[in-house]
Amino acid sequence: MINKKILCLAGLASLGLATAPLAVVHAADTADSMDSQATVTFTEDTDRKTSLNPTSPVTDDTKNAVTPLNPDGTDWSDSRTITNSALTIDYASSFDFQTKKMSTKTEVYSAKAQEYKDSNNNQKIGPNYVQVTDTRSGATKGWTLQVSQPEEFKATSNGSALKGTKITLGNGSYIAGELVSNDMKAYSPVIEPGQAAVSVMTAPTGQGRGTSLYTMGNTDTAAESVKLEVPGSSEKEASTYTTTLNWTLLDAPAE
């Protein structure tokens, strides 16, 4: 009988220990209270952005920065003065249609693929591309990337014009360089000298935040996506011809 009573009391003691903390918490009264604050302040990111890999701009959730190369093989650098802008064109490829024999037939020439150095300084190739970054404050307003060619190709020897040319940006695609925007649109326009600017990529209202890349082809089609058509009737000099393409970023979506 004595042993049974001891066991029974031990069981009651254990139950009391298990439930005591709950009873103390629920029974406590609030003696006093005070509010404190937590704050965070944001500023627009207007720093100059790095160029990203046109085939894999993000790896393991980290931006995959590269150093683009100019057509002559030198490292590209942005010499522009950018003042307090949160909507920027970070990079735009230059097109090298290479050396060709003069022809009296209409010919179509392909631009070389974009060459770049990866983070390990290894030289690689990918599609020609244009990179845009939008870090504006407030609701995303959308934007439109356009391109134009104000003048004809001109001979460096005597300034004569190469008449009637057309540049086609083929296989236009959007690649997210940071935040995915599902309603982005990429186009494959034809650029003609002296004509109005044409859209190449658009971000509708609510889209386009972060970094976006417009690529002309992919690794397999990089060397055949950008084309220059030269009429056979165009007079040609034994010279290098150059022209300028104007890439323009509008702070509003396409209408």
* Residue 24: predicted pLDDT: 54
pLDDT greater at residue 139 or residue 6 = 139
Task: State pLDDT tens for residues 122-150.
Answer: 999 999 999 999 999 887 889 999 999 99
pLDDT at 138: 83
Sheet with 246-250, strands from edge to edge, namely 185-186, 198-203, 143-148, 246-250
Q: Is 115 helix (H, G, I), strand (E, B) or coil?
A: strand
Section 84-94 average pLDDT:
92
pLDDT of residue 80: 83
Backbone angles phi, psi at 54, to 5 degrees: -75, -10
pLDDT at res. 113: 98
Q: 223 falls in which pLDDT band (50, 70, 90)?
A: very high
Residue 4 confidence (pLDDT) above 70: no
Lowest mean pLDDT among 70-74, 99-103, 134-138: 134-138
Which residue would you say has higher pLDDT here, 22 or 250? 250
- For residue 8, what pLDDT is reported? 37
Residues 6+ apart with CB under 8 A from 144: 199, 201, 202, 203, 249, 250, 252, 253, 254
Instruction: For residue 231, give the 3-state DSSP assignment.
Output: coil
- Segment 249-253 shows an average pLDDT of 91
pLDDT at position 27: 65
pLDDT confidence of residue 26: 61
**What pTM, to 2 d.p., does this model score?**
0.85
The pLDDT score that the predictor gives to residue 236 is 95
Range 91-101 average pLDDT: 97
pLDDT in tens, 175-199: 999 889 999 999 999 999 999 999 9
Laid out side by side, the sheet with 172-176 consists of: 87-92, 128-134, 210-216, 172-176
Domain boundaries defined on the chain: 58-250
